[in-house]
Chains A and B, each alone.
Chain A
Amino acid sequence: KQEVTQIPAALSVPEGENLVLNCSFTDSAIYNLQWFRQDPGKGLTSLLLIQSSQREQTSGRLNASLDKSSGRSTLYIAASQPGDSATYLCAVRDQGAQKLVFGQGTRLTINP
């Protein structure tokens, strides 16, 4: 059974810092991995999707990497801003499966 873990559960950093959020998964036979952002009381917004054949994806100040063999993904946020404060979730879709398996998220706070 696939399990997804995100550590730390919460992170607080000063504005302007570069930071890395971590996601690990137990079964490397994945179809893709997706990073989401969730603001309080709101739905999830898709940030980046990495197919199993890819090593990384970039969107603006965000860069997500995937290392299937080690069961790890990282989300790199450059030059953090207070507006980046949110909970970040990673989710894995297994090969041949239709559902996403979510981690419990990292709650990120960027202090002005």
Chain B
Amino acid sequence: DADVTQTPRNRITKTGKRIMLECSQTKGHDRMYWYRQDPGLGLRLIYYSFDVKDINKGEISDGYSVSRQAQAKFSLSLESAIPNQTALYFCATSDFGAGTQYFGPGTRLLVL
């Protein structure tokens, strides 16, 4: 089984809809991250969390919110989706010591 899983893997939605992307991990890591990847722009950090009670904004948090339901679960919400949120979204985890980040398979989101 994969250490970091994301659901759904693909999603098509319409402008104005609220959607949630979910991430679960079995690595036992405290730190979790949400990134988006756009062609020509690379990966950019949306939000990150160091434990259940810790949520921090990344460089592009506007239009997004997150919830850390448990150590193993970190969800990303788009309250009112817009077309420029069409992208590939990745969840990642890391422990404190090594610093290596482990990525999920990604969610491909299309906002019409």
Contact = CB atoms under 8 A, between A and B. Distances in A.
A44 interface: yes
Interface string B83-112: 000000010100000111111111010000
Contacts of A46: 100-103
A49 B98 contact: yes
A43 B99 contact: no
Contacts, number: 54
A102 to B, nearest CB: 4
A89 B90 contact: no
By size class, the interface of chain A is 20 to 34
A24 B58 CA distance: 22
B92 to A, nearest CB: 8
B101 A34 contact: yes
B58 A99 contact: yes
Interface residues of B, number: 26
Interface in A16-42: 31-32, 34, 36, 41-42
Interface of B: 4, 31, 33, 40-45, 48, 50, 56, 58-59, 90, 92, 98-106, 108
26 contacts: A41-B106, A41-B108, A42-B106, A43-B4, A43-B103, A43-B106, A44-B43, A44-B90, A44-B92, A44-B103, A46-B100, A46-B103, A49-B98, A89-B43, A91-B101, A93-B99, A98-B50, A99-B33, A99-B59, A100-B45, A102-B42, A102-B43, A103-B42, A104-B40, A104-B41, A105-B42
A55 to B, nearest CB: 17
Q: Which 5 A-B pairs have the closest CB atoms?
A: A44-B103, A43-B103, A102-B43, A43-B105, A99-B45
B48 to A, nearest CB: 6
Contacts of A89: 42-43
B99 A49 contact: yes
